[in-house]
Amino acid sequence: MASPRRTQVAVVGSANLDIVVAVKRFPAPGETVLGGDPLEIAGGKGLNQAIAAARVASTALVGCVVDDSAGQMLVSRLEEAGVDTRHVRRVATPTGRAFIQVTPDGENSIVVAAAANAELTPEDVRQALDGLRPAVVLAQLEVPLESVLAAASWATENGARFVLNPSPVQPLPDRLIAACDPLVVNAIEAAEVIGAAPGTDITELASGLVGRAVSVVVTDGPRGAHVGTSTSVQHVPGQRVDVVDTTGAGDEFAGCLAALLATGGALPESAGGANRAAARVVAAPRDRR
Q: ∠47-256-160 over CA atoms, to 5°? A: 85
Q: Examine the residue annotation and report whether 251 is marked as an active-site residue of this protein.
A: yes
- List the catalytic residue out of 18, 84, 124, 251: 251
**Residues near 93 by Cβ (< 8 Å), separated by ≥ 6?**
64, 66, 115, 116, 118, 119
Q: How far is CA 213 from the centre of its chain?
A: 18
Query: How is residue 4 annotated by DSSP?
Result: P
Closest by alpha carbon to 14, among 42, 52, 40, 54? 42
Q: How far is CA 249 from the centre of its chain?
A: 9
Q: ∠129-134-140 over CA atoms, to 5°? A: 70
* φ/ψ (deg, to 5) at 85: -110, 15
Q: What's the one-letter identity of residue 71?
A: G
CA-CA-CA-CA torsion sign (4, 6, 9, 13)? positive
232: left (phi over 0), alpha (psi -120 to 50) or beta: beta
Q: What's the one-letter identity of residue 216?
A: V
Helix (H) or strand (E) run with residue 86 in it: none
Catalytic site residues? Answer: 251
